[in-house]
Amino acid sequence: MNFEDIQSLEDLAVVSEEVVWQNFERLAAFIFEKNNFLVKVNTVKTYQKTKRQYDVIAWKGNQTFLVECKKWAGNRYRLSAIKKAVEQHKERTRFYAAVTNEDAIPILVTFIEEEIRFYEGVPIVSIQKLNSFVNELDRYAQGKFFYDCEDDIPYEDDNPLPDEIPMQP
């Protein structure tokens, strides 16, 4: 299915389940693009022979979001794996800031909705709720990480993708 053909949460569920992990990253990027973000997929930054790869980098206004996408196999994965992924992503976020002089906010996007929604200030968002989350970013993002957020953020499940990307002035 072409991402442009996604018309409902059911379509999004089917597509996110069927895509391979590389296209899962592209699907997350597509959702950011549909919400007027400038996006790069699979970007590598290098500094003094050290490299870090970023699944999705999304810019809007003066904010930069580094999106780590995890489409692990199976119905559930261990909480320890999610925590480790968040810790590694926070390190990559610090590296990005040091290399680019650009503050960035880390986000972890998963295939399955997790029992935790934040870990160490990093949001953990299922792909099916990513569009609603992106629509609420201004409400939650403060500085480099998300603070003062409850573990359970009430995402709007019925927030459809915009029909088309408006032209920038």
Boundaries of every domain in the chain? 3-146
Q: Which of 99, 101, 96 is nearest to 67 (CA)?
A: 96
Output the average pLDDT for the chain.
75
Q: Answer yes or no: are the C-beta atoms of 73 and 31 closer than 8 Å.
A: no
Q: What percent of the chain has pLDDT over 70?
A: 62
Selecting from 3.40.50.1860, 3.40.50.720, 3.40.50.10090, 3.40.1350.10, what CATH number does the domain 3-146 have? 3.40.1350.10
Instruction: Indicate the pTM of the whole model.
Output: 0.73
Q: Answer yes or no: are the C-beta atoms of 122 and 84 closer than 8 Å.
A: no
Pairing label, strands 145-146, 141-142: antiparallel
Quote the pLDDT of residue 149. 45
* Region for residue 57 given its phi and psi (left: phi exceeds 0; alpha: psi -120 to 50; beta: otherwise): beta
Higher pLDDT, 115 or 167: 115
Q: Please, which residues bridge with residue 66 across strands?
A: 57, 106
